[in-house]
Amino acid sequence: MGLLVLLVLIFSLVTSSVCTGVGSASEGGDVLCPLQCVCETRPWYTPQSVYHQARTVDCNELHLQRVPANISSDTQVLLLQSNNISSINTELQSLTNLTELDLSQNHFTQVSSMGLSSLSHLVTLYLEENHIEELEDFSLRNLSSLEELYINHNRIASIGPKAFVGLTNLLRLHLNSNRLVAIDSHWFESLPSLEILMIGENPILGLEEKNFLPLSRLHSLVLAGMGLASVPSTAFLGLDYLESLSFYNNQLRSVPRDALSMLPNLKFLDLNKNPISRVQQGDFQNHQHLEELSLNNMDELLLVERAGFRNLPELAKLELCNNPHLSYIHPQSFSDLSSLRTLLLHNNQLSLLSGDLLSSLPSLEEVSLHSNPLRCDCLSSWTPHLGNQSHLKLLESSFTICSSPPHLIGRELKEVVAVGGGEANSCLPHISPHAFPPAVNVSAGQPITLECWADAEPTPQFYWVTPSGDKVSSEVTAAPIISEEGRGLSRKKKKHRVVAPGALVIEHSEPSDTGVYTCVAWNTDGADTKSVSVFVDSLRSLDRWSDRVGGEPSRGQPWPRNSSSTAASLVVLAKVVRAQSVVLEWRLYPSGGPSSVGQEQQDAPLPLPHWTSATVHIDNPQISYTAKVPVDVQEYNLTQLLPATEYHVCLTVSSSPPTPTPNPTSPSSPVQTSCLNVTTKEAGFSVELVASRRSSVALAAVMGSMFALSIMALLVVYMGRRVQQHKSCGHSLKKYMLHATAIPLNELYPPLITLWESEVEKDKDDKEEEREGRDRAEEAGGGQIDTTKTYMW
With cut-offs at 50, 70 and 90, classify the pLDDT of residue 678: confident
Mean pLDDT score of the chain, rounded to an integer?
76
Using an 8 Å Cβ cutoff, are 645 and 679 in contact? yes
Closest-CA residue to 178 (of 158, 164, 161):
158
Distance CA 129, CA 106 (A): 7
pLDDT digits (tens, 9 = 90+) for 38-88: 999 999 888 877 888 899 999 999 999 999 988 998 999 999 999 999 999
User: CA 547, 553, 559 angle in degrees (round to 5)?
Assistant: 75
User: CA 319, 226, 149 angle in degrees (round to 5)?
Assistant: 95
Q: Is 297 exposed, middle or buried (0-12, 13-18, 19+ CB in 10 A)?
A: middle
Q: Which long-range contacts (CB under 8 A, 24 or more apart) does 419-424 make?
A: 420/379, 420/383, 421/376, 421/377, 421/379, 424/376, 424/377, 424/379
Domains of the chain, with CATH numbers? 275-427 (3.80.10.10), 430-535 (2.60.40.10), 543-658+667-679 (2.60.40.10)
The SS3 of residue 274 is coil
pLDDT for residue 702 is more than 90: no
User: CA 391, 395, 396 angle in degrees (round to 5)?
Assistant: 135
DSSP state of 189: G
More confident residue, 744 or 91: 91
**What pLDDT sits at residue 733?**
35
Q: Give the mean model confidence (pLDDT) for residues 522-534.
A: 86
Distance CA 77, CA 62 (A): 17
Distance CA 595, CA 442 (A): 6
Percent of the chain with pLDDT over 70: 69
The terminus-to-terminus CA distance of the chain in angstroms comes to 125
DSSP state of 596: B
With cut-offs at 50, 70 and 90, classify the pLDDT of residue 606: low
The SS3 of residue 557 is coil
pLDDT digits (tens, 9 = 90+) for 450-488: 888 888 888 888 888 888 888 888 764 444 444 444 444
49 φ/ψ sector (left φ>0, alpha ψ -120 to 50, else beta): left
**What pLDDT sits at residue 603?**
47
Percent of the chain with pLDDT over 90: 38
Q: Give the mean model confidence (pLDDT) for residues 16-42.
A: 59
Cα separation values, 381 from 346, 355, 378, 384, Å:
17, 4, 6, 7
DSSP-assigned states of every residue in 393-451: EEETGGG-BEEESGGGTTSBHHHHHHHTTTT------EE-TTS--SEEEEETT--EEE-
Find the length of the chain: 793
Q: Where are the beta strands (DSSP E) in 251-344?
A: 268-270, 278-279, 284-285, 292-294, 303-304, 309-310, 317-319, 328-329, 334-335, 342-344
pLDDT digits (tens, 9 = 90+) for 679-694: 888 775 433 333 333 4
Sign of the alpha-carbon torsion through 208, 209, 213, 219 = positive
Distance CA 586, CA 572 (A): 4
Cα separation values, 485 from 479, 482, 490, 493, 508, Å:
18, 9, 7, 14, 20
Q: Give the mean model confidence (pLDDT) for residues 133-144.
A: 93
**What pLDDT sits at residue 763?**
47
Closest-CA residue to 463 (of 494, 438, 500):
500
pLDDT for residue 422 is more than 50: no
pLDDT for residue 728 is more than 80: no
Distance CA 577, CA 574 (A): 7
Which residues does residue 529 pair with via DSSP β-bridges, in sequence order?
520
More confident residue, 703 or 240: 240
Q: Give the mean model confidence (pLDDT) for residues 120-147.
A: 94
Distance CA 568, CA 562 (A): 10
The lowest-confidence range among 326-330, 442-446, 743-747 is 743-747
With cut-offs at 50, 70 and 90, classify the pLDDT of residue 436: confident
pLDDT digits (tens, 9 = 90+) for 218-265: 999 999 999 999 999 999 999 999 999 999 999 999 999 999 999 999
Q: Give the mean model confidence (pLDDT) for residues 702-721.
A: 73
pLDDT digits (tens, 9 = 90+) for 302-319: 999 989 999 999 999 999
Using an 8 Å Cβ cutoff, are 533 and 497 in contact? no
More confident residue, 78 or 558: 78
DSSP-assigned states of every residue in 107-131: ----GGGS--TT-TT--EEE--SS-
Q: Is 180 exposed, middle or buried (0-12, 13-18, 19+ CB in 10 A)?
A: buried
pLDDT for residue 696 is more than 60: no
**What pLDDT sits at residue 560?**
33
pLDDT for residue 139 is more than 50: yes
More confident residue, 148 or 606: 148
The lowest-confidence range among 152-166, 346-360, 379-393, 522-536 is 379-393
**What pLDDT sits at residue 610?**
56
559 φ/ψ sector (left φ>0, alpha ψ -120 to 50, else beta): beta
pLDDT for residue 765 is more than 70: no
SS (H, E, C) 13-61: HHHHHHHHHHHHHCCCCCCCCCCCCEEEEEEEECCCCCEEEEEEEECCC
Beta strand 148-150 with 172-174: parallel, antiparallel or unpaired? parallel
Q: Give the mean model confidence (pLDDT) for residues 256-278.
A: 96
Using an 8 Å Cβ cutoff, are 40 and 54 in contact? no
Quote the distance between the C-alpha of residue 599 and its chain's center.
6
pLDDT digits (tens, 9 = 90+) for 629-663: 665 567 777 776 788 888 888 887 776 544 444 44
3-state class percentages of the chain: helix first, strand second, coil last, to nearest 5: 15, 25, 60
Using an 8 Å Cβ cutoff, are 600 and 453 in contact? no
DSSP state of 457: S
Distance CA 85, CA 80 (A): 9
**What pLDDT sits at residue 709?**
78
CA gyration radius for the chain?
40
Closest-CA residue to 60 (of 7, 14, 108, 105):
105
DSSP state of 346: -
Using an 8 Å Cβ cutoff, are 78 and 57 in contact? yes
The lowest-confidence range among 314-323, 417-426, 500-509, 545-554 is 545-554
Q: Give the mean model confidence (pLDDT) for residues 769-780.
A: 51
**What pLDDT sits at residue 701?**
61
More confident residue, 416 or 553: 416
**What pLDDT sits at residue 254?**
95
Distance CA 498, CA 452 (A): 10
Distance CA 267, CA 254 (A): 20
Give the range with max mean pLDDT: 197-201, 407-411, 418-422, 498-502. 197-201
SS (H, E, C) 286-310: CCCCCCEEECCCCCCCCEECCCCEE
Q: Give the mean model confidence (pLDDT) for residues 334-349.
A: 94
Using an 8 Å Cβ cutoff, are 424 and 407 in contact? yes
Closest-CA residue to 381 (of 341, 422, 347, 421):
421
Q: Give the mean model confidence (pLDDT) for residues 696-720.
A: 69
pLDDT digits (tens, 9 = 90+) for 180-206: 999 999 999 999 999 999 999 999 999
pTM of the model: 0.64
DSSP-assigned states of every residue in 628-662: E--TT--EEEE-SPPTT-EEEEEEEEEE----SS-
pLDDT for residue 401 is more than 80: yes
**What pLDDT sits at residue 25?**
44
pLDDT for residue 156 is more than 70: yes
